[in-house]
Chains A and B, each alone.
Chain A
Amino acid sequence: MLQKKETEEVISLSKLSEEEQAKKDAKIKKQHRKESGPWIFVKYASLIIATIVTLLPLVTAFFGSFKTSSEFNSFNVLVLPESFLNFENYKIAFTGGNMATGFLNTIIVLFFSLIATILTGTMTAYILNRFRFPGRKLINNLFLIASLIPSITMQMSVFQDLLEYYNIAFETGYCDGYHH
């Protein structure tokens, strides 16, 4: 009997605490909701500002690309172009700027450098991971260090390399000074 009474008491107590907990939760949730009112505003406002700041330089450049030069000089940059079908500037850029050649060059460089990178990269990675040999860590660290230097600072060495290869090619007649 006594035991039963005790358990009942405990149950009632836990019920009470559950109710209390629920009340507390509701209170917290309410607080939370209250807090998040201005927070939501700040959130959206900051996102919208970020969007505007990000797009502004791009949008004006985009508008400018459809404007004739007289239009460009006489109106504010934020004014919409007269027509979005004025592709004259694009035509000039493509023909006058030799963009076709540029793209072709990009493709050539990309093709060969990708092949070289993938071949040497995968082979080196495979060797460095599969085999344990003296100097393995050293090579690993050298790769890491080399990737840390900005490649532009190494142009001195690149220039010397190219000069050397050019001289060898010149000497051996694979290439001559008059024709490329």
Chain B
Amino acid sequence: MGCGIRFCKRDLAAIITESYYEKKASSVSIKYIWSFLFKKRMFDMVGYSFVKWNGTSPEKTWLGWDNYVQVFTRPEYLKVLKTSIYYFVGSILQIALALYFATVLNGKIKGGNFFKGVIFFPSLLNGVAVGLIFLFYYKGGGTFDSVLGMLGIPQEVLPLWLGDVALVNISLVFVSLWRYMGQNMVMFSGAMQSINSDLLEAASLDGANSWQQFRYIILPNIKTIVSLNLILAVKGAISVYEIPMIMTNGANGSSTFVMKTLDTAFTSRKIGLASAMGVVLLVFIMIVTFIQKRFIEGKEEA
């Protein structure tokens, strides 16, 4: 198998210390399981966030809170959070649309299963495939341009959907809306099916229109699922990574916080600073989750 110095060394050593290797190997596997159970990586990340380190050198310089100060004071790191606002607005829109379609498809409708299947389908696709499909969709003379051309809009006035600084984020948000709306819809529609249909029938006999039925019967009954999806939406909005990475690689101001973090870690080789960014993201998500949990639980008590 092996050759050269390492091979000889192993042969010699194997006679005496075979058991030593075995012990070490088993200690590795025990360590691995241990690290999974106690979330070692999370604590490692917190530990790295206080040092200056390039990831491979044996020496780490203690910095204290300096990395965190840098994250919050240097504009290039916080600037990328602005992109998240687009995604957040997009996911609110996505939840609203999902609620609408779930309500419509839960009522009397012909071919409901067909529509449900079609709208759900994109969430089965892999993120890389979605990115490539939409690169083709948005490129100059691509699908979107052709369709707009068919509707009578001249090709000359069409912008570059991914090349325009003002449009790139909206285009990318549409991709994520396209991808996840069906998933939300199926979750909502599952929750709606557990509502007693007598309630809806009684309401419609009493003259409640579709909006009133939705507002006073359906929405209160699926509140938990909606709030869960809102938490996931906030989390999703600040941790977007896959789609912009594949489609623009962060060009034209479409870089997200996670992309910037990985860039800091593996391109600039500032593991400490990147870990601090990771911790900031974690704390932010925890705060949002906590607030939403409190908000919903408090409402239920009232």
In the bound complex, residues from chain B placing their C-beta under 8 Å from that of A158 are 41
Report the separation of the CA atoms of residues A97 and B113 in the bound assembly, to the nearest whole angstrom: 36
A57 touches B121 (CB 8 A): no
For residue B299, CB closer than 8 A to chain A, the reply is: no
Q: A46-B104, A156-B45, A176-B2 are in contact. Are A165 and B28 (CB under 8 A)?
A: yes
Q: Which A residues fall within an 8 A CB radius of B? A: 25, 28, 31-32, 35-36, 39, 43-44, 46-47, 50-51, 53-58, 60-61, 64, 76-78, 120, 124, 139, 142-143, 145-146, 148-150, 152-161, 163, 165, 168-169, 172-174, 176-179
Nearest-CB distance from B258 to chain A (Å)? 5
B10 touches A77 (CB 8 A): no
Given contacts A51-B118, A77-B142, contact A120 B6 (CB under 8 A): no
Contact A156 B55 (CB under 8 A): yes
What is the interface of chain B, defined by CB distance below 8 A to chain A? Answer: 1-4, 6-7, 9-10, 13-14, 21, 24-25, 28, 32-33, 35-42, 44-45, 48, 55-56, 100-101, 104-105, 107, 109, 115, 118-119, 121-122, 133-134, 136-137, 141-143, 146-147, 150, 178, 182, 204-207, 209-210, 235, 239, 241, 258, 261-262, 265-266, 271, 274-275, 277-278, 281-282, 285-286, 289
When the two chains form the complex, which single residue of A32, A46, A161, A172 contacts B204, counting CB atoms closer than 8 Å? Answer: A32
- Closest Cβ of chain A to B46, distance in Å, is 10
- Asked if B281 contacts A155 (CB within 8 A), the reply is no
Contacts of A28 in B (CB 8 A): 205-207
Which of A53, A77, A173 meets B178, CB within 8 Å? A53
Given contacts A120-B36, A149-B281, A159-B55, contact A51 B261 (CB under 8 A): no
Interface of A is mostly: helix
